[in-house]
Chains A and B, each alone.
Chain A
């Protein structure tokens, strides 16, 4: 049934690629040029280079929507173009190219629009910062790198973008590096994601060893044609997923993302909520046929997703720092996307990526607006802001409802589709991929997480905006530059989900076409009712407990579990005490001793032996044999010439006599002897 539908879809006429789609390289190129211009001219411009960034990003965003127009309604074109970058062994040529399909076409508007909003917002939020120009340089470098990542047609180029966004994340987390905690957070984020990049790189090599190409299109084609052994696919998929676990902050490597909140809040909105952290999800979606080829790898993705979503959601409940609530929420929602991919619902996962980008960016920017106003990240120093910051309040509430999955906000459609697809995998009706119990697991944990999500967001809203103001100073509404992006993103958080409503057969899933389920009417009344009731219950419980703001944290009644959550499952302590410190204290010390005594000893010994040998060689061979030969030649020549020089008397007539004598001898020889 599904196969028949798929065939029907595929048989439809493909749209002709428009001029922007055919030259999609221009979209990453615009921010790249902007980086150079801001870097070179920014400090001399009246607005410190932000105008270049905003104009460039506006252009890139407009072009992105032109590209997206090509894919609306499905049957979008596939455009693959490449230049030769450099040739290497095995007769391979590494290309620098673009691969335009529905997935990239969706990522473009998400990245450019969120970046545009964040750049406009930052003109207010970062006003008067001393490294303002540098901030815009890094933002644009990040955006360009992310666009390079999503447009890549081969895995190495994708890796270049991948590492570039990583370094931009590092630079921007440590933007206020004067405080040690911030630079520590930057280093932690960099090293933790790097831990995932190692398996990612190995995974690329595994695929190369099997297919002899880095080209994504060829690898996908071979995976779909079952030309790669299943065991190789399993290994490659799990290794690639390692990179995604690091970048998209999944268990057990999610610990860097909450600390990454040390960066400026707009950066958190852009990088650590809406775009960069979705790179891992994008990677899994991009290589989806590789994952699909292995049930084991799909189950690993789904289970890691399920575990991460509930662990992170639980942690979000006990945070006081509003940004950390949102950070754990991001981890949890990314896990939703991963779990969706893991149960084969690739399009649903990307749909959630797309809707999540809007409302999570909005939540972060709203939180930034609050922080800008009260000069504190802690919700215990907020409260009662609803009246003084109406725009921030209303947009924040819209985003909260979207995140909680309340009908008809954007998050409702995508979250509901994930849960429905997971349930169907468990129920086995149209299970294309995956194991039944994994489907049920994702569904069950997903519903639980939906409840927790609604609860912690309700808690955050009530602690921040309701009741009495508990902080010092006089909060005020943020400037227009900050509220305008909030309003735009607020509208998007409401309407963005309508592109994927289940009734529309040529809706979002048909545009993306990652694979897995094809759009069949997946709405099931009871499943929708359950998830809606759960979300409403979570919101109600949050209102009940935190309105008015309680004197003591009600969750402390959970006892040891609360302690466990406050200490973040002791995972950070485990990493510090179980991995970092042993390596630093014992292994590093041992290696230092080994280095000083054994390696240096060996090196010094080798040097001493070499020196002694060289001395002997110098004394015996160089001085005696080689110099002796040269001197002997010199002395011999001198002695010989002492006798020969008498011939050169300077007397012309004696020379002439020798000449004639010689001629006479020759004449005699030729006439008598050689005749």
Chain B
């Protein structure tokens, strides 16, 4: 299997994530789209790690870090979403515009 296929898959998933972040109204779905983008990056890291035959496995270690960070990010993000819902009875991101001038 050539590298190009795998990278194409990564790029596709990333594009889906970008679309989700920009287009979805539901904050939970926005968070999920972000996870999708992070995982597409993980695929790229693993693919390049395999293609370079890196004995130190730097790509894999990086991917593990990203998984950990993503878990933490989702934990914080969902907590924020939860509190926003309690205060404003909605999780639509276009209705949460408190930072507007």
Chains A and B are bound partners: yes
In the complex, what distance in Å separates the CA atom of A246 from the CA atom of B97? 95
In the assembled complex, the CB of A566 is this many whole angstroms from the nearest CB of chain B, namely: 104
Q: Is the CB of B101 within 8 A of A645?
A: yes
Q: Is the CB of A650 within 8 A of B22?
A: no
Residue of A nearest to B96 (CB): A652
- Which interface residue of A648, A651, A660 has the most chain B CB atoms within 10 A? A651
In the complex, what distance in Å separates the CA atom of A648 from the CA atom of B99? 8
Given A652-B96, A653-B93: A660 in contact with B22 (beta carbons within 8 A): yes
Residue of A nearest to B94 (CB): A651
A residues near B101, Cβ cutoff 8 Å: 645-646, 648, 650
Q: Is the CB of B94 within 8 A of A653?
A: yes
**A225 sits at the interface (CB 8 A):** no
Q: Is the CB of A649 within 8 A of B21?
A: no
In the complex, what distance in Å separates the CA atom of A651 from the CA atom of B23? 12
Q: By DSSP majority rule, is chain A's interface helix, strand, loop, or mixed?
A: helix
**B18 sits at the interface (CB 8 A):** yes
**B4 sits at the interface (CB 8 A):** no
In the complex, what distance in Å separates the CA atom of A660 from the CA atom of B98? 22
In the complex, what distance in Å separates the CA atom of A653 from the CA atom of B98? 14
CB within 8 A of A649: which of B18, B23, B30, B100?
A: B100
In the complex, what distance in Å separates the CA atom of A645 from the CA atom of B93? 20
**A656 sits at the interface (CB 8 A):** yes
In the assembled complex, the CB of B27 is this many whole angstroms from the nearest CB of chain A, namely: 9
Residue of B nearest to A647 (CB): B101
B residues near A649, Cβ cutoff 8 Å: 97, 100
Residue of A nearest to B21 (CB): A656
CB within 8 A of B22: which of A646, A648, A656?
A: A656
Contacting B at CB under 8 A, from A629-656, are 645-646, 648-653, 656
Q: Is the CB of B100 within 8 A of A648?
A: yes
B residues near A653, Cβ cutoff 8 Å: 21-23, 30, 93-94
In the assembled complex, the CB of A479 is this many whole angstroms from the nearest CB of chain B, namely: 101
B residues near A657, Cβ cutoff 8 Å: 22
Q: By DSSP majority rule, is chain B's interface helix, strand, loop, or mixed?
A: loop
- Which interface residue of B30, B93, B100, B101 has the most chain A CB atoms within 10 A? B101
Contacting B at CB under 8 A, from A29-63, are none
CB within 8 A of A652: which of B18, B23, B93?
A: B93
Q: Is the CB of A651 within 8 A of B97?
A: yes
In the assembled complex, the CB of B28 is this many whole angstroms from the nearest CB of chain A, namely: 14
In the assembled complex, the CB of A655 is this many whole angstroms from the nearest CB of chain B, namely: 9
B residues near A645, Cβ cutoff 8 Å: 101
Residue of A nearest to B101 (CB): A645
B residues near A660, Cβ cutoff 8 Å: 18, 22
In the complex, what distance in Å separates the CA atom of A646 from the CA atom of B100? 9
A residues near B30, Cβ cutoff 8 Å: 652-653
In the complex, what distance in Å separates the CA atom of A660 from the CA atom of B18? 8
A residues near B98, Cβ cutoff 8 Å: 650
A residues near B99, Cβ cutoff 8 Å: 648, 650
In the assembled complex, the CB of A645 is this many whole angstroms from the nearest CB of chain B, namely: 4
A residues near B18, Cβ cutoff 8 Å: 660
B residues near A650, Cβ cutoff 8 Å: 96-101
In the complex, what distance in Å separates the CA atom of A653 from the CA atom of B18? 10
In the complex, what distance in Å separates the CA atom of A660 from the CA atom of B34? 13
Residue of B nearest to A656 (CB): B21
Residue of B nearest to A657 (CB): B22
Contacting A at CB under 8 A, from B72-101, are 93-94, 96-101
> What string of 1s and 0s marks CB contacts (under 8 Å) between B19-59 and chain A?
00111000000100000000000000000000000000000
In the assembled complex, the CB of B8 is this many whole angstroms from the nearest CB of chain A, namely: 17
In the complex, what distance in Å separates the CA atom of A272 from the CA atom of B52? 112
In the complex, what distance in Å separates the CA atom of A68 from the CA atom of B18? 109
In the assembled complex, the CB of A291 is this many whole angstroms from the nearest CB of chain B, namely: 94
In the complex, what distance in Å separates the CA atom of A335 from the CA atom of B15? 119
A residues near B94, Cβ cutoff 8 Å: 651, 653
A residues near B22, Cβ cutoff 8 Å: 653, 656-657, 660
In the complex, what distance in Å separates the CA atom of A646 from the CA atom of B101? 8
In the assembled complex, the CB of B95 is this many whole angstroms from the nearest CB of chain A, namely: 10
In the complex, what distance in Å separates the CA atom of A657 from the CA atom of B100? 16
B residues near A656, Cβ cutoff 8 Å: 21-22
In the complex, what distance in Å separates the CA atom of A657 from the CA atom of B23? 10
In the complex, what distance in Å separates the CA atom of A660 from the CA atom of B20? 13
In the complex, what distance in Å separates the CA atom of A652 from the CA atom of B23? 11
In the complex, what distance in Å separates the CA atom of A656 from the CA atom of B23? 10
In the complex, what distance in Å separates the CA atom of A660 from the CA atom of B96? 21
B residues near A646, Cβ cutoff 8 Å: 101
In the complex, what distance in Å separates the CA atom of A650 from the CA atom of B21? 15
In the assembled complex, the CB of A18 is this many whole angstroms from the nearest CB of chain B, namely: 89
B residues near A648, Cβ cutoff 8 Å: 99-101
**10 contacts across the A-B interface (CB closer than 8 A):** A645-B101, A648-B100, A648-B101, A649-B100, A650-B101, A651-B93, A651-B94, A652-B93, A653-B23, A653-B93
* Residues of chain B having any CB pair with chain A under 8 Å: 18, 21-23, 30, 93-94, 96-101
Which 10 pairs between the two chains have the least Cβ-Cβ distance?
A650-B100, A650-B97, A645-B101, A650-B99, A648-B101, A652-B93, A657-B22, A656-B21, A653-B22, A649-B100
A-B contact sample (18 more), CB < 8 A, given A651-B97, A653-B94: A645-B101, A646-B101, A648-B100, A648-B101, A649-B100, A650-B96, A650-B98, A650-B100, A650-B101, A651-B93, A652-B30, A653-B22, A653-B23, A653-B93, A656-B21, A656-B22, A660-B18, A660-B22
